Chain A
Amino acid sequence: MADKPLLPDLMKAHGISRRGFLKYCATLTSAMALPPMLAPKVAHALETTARPSVIWLSFQECTGCTEAITRSHAPTIEDLIFNVISLDYHHTLQAASGDAAEHAREQAMKDNWGNYLVVVDGSIPIGNPGYSTIAGISNLDMLKETAEGAAAIVAVGTCAAYGGIPHADPNPTGAVSVSDIITDKPIINVPGCPPIPIVMTSVLAQFLTFGLESIEVDKLGRPKAFFGETIHDRCYRRPFYDKGLFAEGFDDEGAREGWCLYKLGCKGPTTRSVCATVKWNNGTSFPIQAGHGCLGCTEPDFWDNGGFYKPLSVPAGEYRKLGLAAVAGGAALGVAGGAVGRANKARAARAHETVDAHDLEKKT
């Protein structure tokens, strides 16, 4: 690690100006919800910190997370991220293959034992080790082996963080998240399907700049800086929700006017992420802006949370059949109850004895 070039050399090699670098640091600082005065510290840390080794493990995944991170805001940032860290192992991005690739992982682990960072995307199948293997090694074994010498683990994407789509009912592979297996290492979850590129890079940058302790996470292991508020809170369509103006279809008047997508199943009110503010593709847009409701992809089990196109207030079960049964059952019980009542009434009428004043006098 010590013989690897520091950032200033790399910046020169890639034609990145100091101004460009500082702008990037300011963006990262802002994205991490840190005060602007800390931007120089971010820059200093990135300039002087020796590049830590990063081992990126891809398990049951679709490569969407990697696709996303390679589309980080600008090409210069993309270069920067891959050079600030020493990405020693990544299936998709590394040039090596076969034994050489695996050797790179083993070498990186050996050279940086106890200090390297493990990034995981994809869930781990525990139903059968053969469901997903790399170089003949099961995902479970590779994760355990690699995690052993790691300083920390970043679970990137909802599959690694919570099991994601492979974990969806009926979960045929027995997919689980990283935190379901590794319990003795610090794990930061950066969920999303895929996560926002700058969120991934910012978490890595914050880890490098301020250390693991600086990353405050919620109960689901997500950095609060990026998962502290719901999308609904920051959605530009929120004023329409407040006005009671909703799109009823994807091509109706409301949809064209940009009204709230709640009735089309938007999960923004229960989904924590910065999608609405940081956005994607250099701040161009995000799903709701593109006209589709939020799927809630930063939340566990988002695939099974009642259907993407059902509003949150609409029942998710088979209530219609039960409702019809209740109509029939209630009516039948009502008839029975009424009949019992009538029988009691008739019995009371039959048992009724008329009395006159003489009878009463006799009784007293």
Chain B
Amino acid sequence: MNTNWLDVMLRRLLGFAGVMLVLSLMIFVLARVVPGDPARIALGPSATQEQVDAMRLEMGLDDPVLIQFVNYVGGALRGDFGRSLISGKPVASEILELLPATLELVLVTVFLMIVISVPLGVVTARYRNSWIDNTGRFFSIIGVTMPSFLFAILLQLAAANFFPGWPILGRIDYTLTAPQGPTGLLLIDSLAHGRFDVFASALQHLLFPALALAMAGIGQVTRITRSAMIEHQRRDHVLTLKSFGVPDRVIIFRYLLKLSSIAPLTIMGLEFASLIGNAFVVELVFSWGGFASYGLEAILQKDLNAVMAVVLVSGFFFIVANLIIDVVLLMIDPRLRFKEAR
């Protein structure tokens, strides 16, 4: 029956490729209909009309729109998103330089999300309607409803008032120099170079931003895990095991947990989109200087090429994240493998 793996995965990949294509088309069209001449923005108000015309020619803005789109997609596939209208440097290299900072933040965030919310969801479901449940639910609803920027600021205020000296800005202490390569992720690079001082500092710097970023997801995933657990507790298969005296802890931690991880995993995939969005806020508050900060800057300065690239790269990461989750779901839930086979 496992031959369907290939079929199922191929379907997903094709679907995602389609999504990327339509997404780039939408962004491209949006970018072309907005008022303002990209060439003019690039050269500034003092440039002459001849200079602007020359620039338009160079940027291919006078070609038919379809040709422009094909060229754009072709370039994007090769990793070429054009040049920044502001700095004049290739957008791709600028993004590549800043991406590891954001990637590190996001990975730690996702790690925190899973480590905190899954046990919390299980425990609140297990002790339903007790004080444990009420406290857990209280915190998860705060997670869902509190704006990320407020939580980020509260963390900074808390650090300022109660933990003086705890870093609240940047990725690493300014007295340290980060080791170069191979991944750009400070936690890994520092270990690779044996720089434990850098590792410790990076970890310290990461904690608060990652918490602020994870909070919304923690709240959401806890709630979903809890309600999935409760929902499945009512099912006949739980009654089957109970009727034969299989202990509650086995029913919960083996049977229910695996079944109940399907819903939160699905949600986590969708949450990833808002996580990328919230990264903009959190990076701003903690002066993180990553991909999201770059995106915010590009948007505020109307750097069209950079904005398009930022949206596309964000979409790409959303899709990759969901693809990974799909694979995990396929491993967890045999029904997905059989269903698409029939």
Are A and B bound to each other? Answer: no
